Structure 1
Amino acid sequence: MEYRELKVNLPKSGSDDLYSLLELLQVAGYYEILFDGDAPKEPEQGILKENTNIRIYLNTEEIQKEIQILIFLKSNFPHNSNYETRNIETRDYEEAYKEFYKPFSIGKKLWVIPTWEKDSEITKALWQHNGGIPLYINPGVAFGTGHHETTKLILERLDSLTDEGSIFQSACDLGTGSGILSIGLAKLGTKRIFALDIDQNAVKAAWSNWQENDFSKDIKFTVEESGLDNENCLKDEYDLAIANITFAVLSQNIRNLAKIKSKRFIFSGIITEKKDEFLELLKTNLPGSLLHSHEWNEWWVLDWVKH
């Protein structure tokens, strides 16, 4: 089987809008290249680049989706984006992102490791040094490779809370994506986790990634395809609820969030310009106080407790 590969370069500030479009279009897959050794360097380019490279994969007959992506680029970034296209075989598509997805650490203890490198001696040495905890992830097509600021912010917060002695026995993971946050929770001591996502590919990816990791039999993980009005989620009590979801989705579902039986919430996916508005929503619908907040590249993690 052939796929259509789009090599896209655009300002990093526009990547999240592009991701939203790709999720709406339900493309076959996409990933961000954090370092491209083959890409030509810009004049006086430093370590950090304003632009980012993204690979997008479509079925070859999905011409309309390709046109919509190109319209997005030309409408929003007419002078500072570019793209190339080609047809590739299935094997090329499945192997493509592996070249760029390497093990990396988050916080003091966590190591995100691609599943195809879990038995590597070098990889074992990385996470075993200083008692590292491995999270084995195959990024596939689901959000949550661990590279995005919002994912890192939540994992760093969970890691630091563990250092402080806070262990959450139960948790719900709203918008689980690849399942990386659920896996992180379980590796840090959570015994019961309920996860959900509206994307069936994400649900499959989360379950597949969960099975790639080793857990004791007393840890229970459930993942379902649904929105935030999931009855199975709302009927149980949790020590913690986590949500790495955009402000738009959270604000539209604020009443469902208020129904979740948890006093502790950790949110990410909130950009600086929406932070104050979101906090007001929380004060009105989930009365409580902000325990902790931290910003990274204009993304925030907010640790909230209901009173």
Structure 2
Amino acid sequence: MADPGIHTPSDTPTALPPSQWWEIKVVGVPLLDDLLFWRLQEEGCQGTASQIVNQELTVCGYLSLDRVQSIDLQKLAERLHQDVQSVGYPAPDISWQLITEEDWAHNWRDYWHPQEVGNRLLIYPAWLEVPEQCERLLIRLNPGVAFGTGAHATTQLCLRALEQRISEQPNPLSIADIGCGTGILSIAALLLGVQKAYAVDLDPLAIGATQASRELNGLTSDQLWVKEGSLDQVIQQLQHPVQGFCCNILAHIILDLIPHFADITDQNGWGILSGILDTQEPMIIEALNAHGWQVRDTHHEQDWCSLIIERR
């Protein structure tokens, strides 16, 4: 029996060009944003956006057409309902529709506005005119069809941690950005004083977005090296270990990567981890301790945490 809170398209084409995407829209109470973001990311959404109007939260996630079938969307909706009801809130209203890349790029403009992060950074939409005077470091982004805008708590935790760590170690030579998305963390690190960033992501859309972000912010390929892949590609590229790294991805992927973090960092290396729910923090710390890392500092926002770690 169809759930009244789940709406399916009335006419689903059978053959569509690869430039089309499913937009999943979830409407509920404002306190649900972290839970909804987490579930959409767990299910593979390559970008999320949110807004609150009249005490009503709308969260949108995006899945490429070639990675999902209609039945998968039905399962995703059911999981979202279960998540929300398990924490005592009414089932949200869930709908989805097919959109083009152009629609997606335009949709960001409805949700996203300039946002200050930390003491020095300003995330700035590419379609807005650059201010004549700005005391902050401007990170210009045009997310397109890859990942988010820096508004999510995990990204902001990473940006603030980067600012803190780089201020303590002026002009570090290089960092790695594992799971770079739009390249926002690499760009922030370079603006804050890092000389070179190595950015990798398993999704080719993210690589294209990072390359576009690099050009948009006036950076060169010598400053920001980008390649599809993960730690293996960074290891192959490095002539010398990096001083630090960022890793803002899901906790279970971080667990798999922890044994290999030392392969890219020098003896005094440090890292910033996020994408970790508060409830997942103990298992991450346990794995870090087992592989020669110690947690120097932690930061929490809503239900998420970031860890600044150092080699022992």
Fold shared, TM-score > 0.5 on shorter chain: yes
For residues 280 and 6 of structure 1, do their structure 2 counterparts lie closer, same or farther at Cα, with a shift above 3 Å needed? closer
Q: Distance in 1 between matches of 2:239 and 2:71?
A: 42
In the alignment, is the contact (CA less than 8 A) between 1:234 and 1:259 conserved in 2?
A: no
- Of 273, 278, 298 in structure 2, the residue corresponding to residue 272 of structure 1 is 278
Cα pair distance change 1:179/1:285, threshold 3 Å:
same
Aligned to 2:250: 246
- Tell me, what secondary structure is at the counterpart of 2:43? helix
TM-score calculated relative to the size of structure 2 = 0.79
2:118 matched residue in structure 1: 107
Q: Which residue of 2 aligns with 1:68?
A: 75
C-alpha distance in 2, partners of 1:170/1:293?
Answer: 22
1:95-133 CA distances to partner (integer Å, 9 max, x unpaired)? 12212211111111111011111xx2xx515xx34x211
Aligned to 2:160: 156
Asked if the contact 1:5–1:88 (Cα under 8 Å) also holds between the matched residues in 2, the reply is yes
Write the deviation string for residues 173-213 of structure 1: whole angstroms up to 9, x where unpaired. Answer: 11111100000011111111111111111111111111100
Is the alpha carbon distance of 1:182 and 1:103 closer, same or farther for their aligned partners in structure 2, counting shifts above 3 Å? Answer: same
Alpha carbons of structure 1 residues 205 and 89: separation in structure 2 relative to 1, 3 Å: closer
Residue from 1, 8, 16 that aligns with 2:38: 16
CA displacement at 1:162 relative to structure 2: 4.4
Q: Which residue of 2 aligns with 1:31?
A: 48
Determine the structure 1 residue equivalent to 2:95: 84
**What is the match of residue 26 of structure 1?**
none
Q: Is the Cα–Cα contact under 8 Å of residues 8 and 56 in structure 1 kept in the other structure?
A: no
Cα pair distance change 1:101/1:174, threshold 3 Å: same
Q: Distance in 2 between matches of 1:228 and 1:162?
A: 22
- CA pair 277-76 structure 1, distance change in 2 beyond 3 A: closer
Supply the distance in 2 between the matched residues of 1:54 and 1:93 (Cα, whole angstroms): 10
Q: 2:36·2:59 contact (CA, 8 Å) conserved in 1?
A: no
CA pair 59-198 structure 1, distance change in 2 beyond 3 A: closer
User: What pairs with 1:1-307 in structure 2 (closer than 5 Å)?
Assistant: 5-10=23-28, 11-12=32-33, 13-23=35-45, 30-36=47-53, 41=54, 45=55, 51-56=57-62, 59=65, 62-77=69-84, 79-86=90-97, 91-117=102-128, 120=129, 123-124=130-131, 128-129=133-134, 131-164=135-168, 166-215=170-219, 220-230=223-233, 231-233=235-237, 236-262=240-266, 263-287=269-293, 289-307=294-312
Question: How far apart, in 2, do the equivalents of 1:261 and 1:3 lie?
Answer: 38
Task: Evaluate the alpha carbon distance shift between residue 67 and residue 235 of structure 1 in structure 2; reply closer, same or farther with a 3 A threshold.
Answer: farther
For residues 169 and 263 of structure 2, the distance between their equivalents in structure 1, rounded to whole angstroms, comes to: 28
SS class of match (1:239): strand
3-state SS of 1:124 partner: coil
Contact 2:104–2:144, Cα closer than 8 Å, also in 1: no
1:144–1:151 CA contact under 8 A, matched in 2: no
- Paired residue type of 2:95: E
Provide TM-score, normalisation by structure 1.
Answer: 0.81
CA contact (8 A) 2:37 2:48 kept: no
Count of aligned pairs between the two proteins: 282
Deviation (angstroms), 1:264: 1.2
Q: 1:88 to 1:220 in 2, by over 3 A?
A: closer
Is the 1:149–1:299 Cα contact (8 Å) retained in structure 2?
yes
Q: Relative to 1, partners in 2 of residues 1:251 and 1:90: Cα closer, same or farther, differing over 3 Å? A: closer
Deviates more, 1:262-271 or 1:72-81: 72-81
2:176–2:244 CA contact under 8 A, matched in 1: yes
Matched to 2:48, the amino acid is Y
| CA deviation string 1:35-72 (max 9, x = no partner) | 44xxxx3xxx4xxx6x4422546649953443333333
Q: Which runs of 5+ in 1 are unaligned?
A: 24-28
SS at match of 1:257: helix
Q: For the residues of structure 2 that align with 1:155 and 1:90, how far apart are their CA atoms?
A: 27
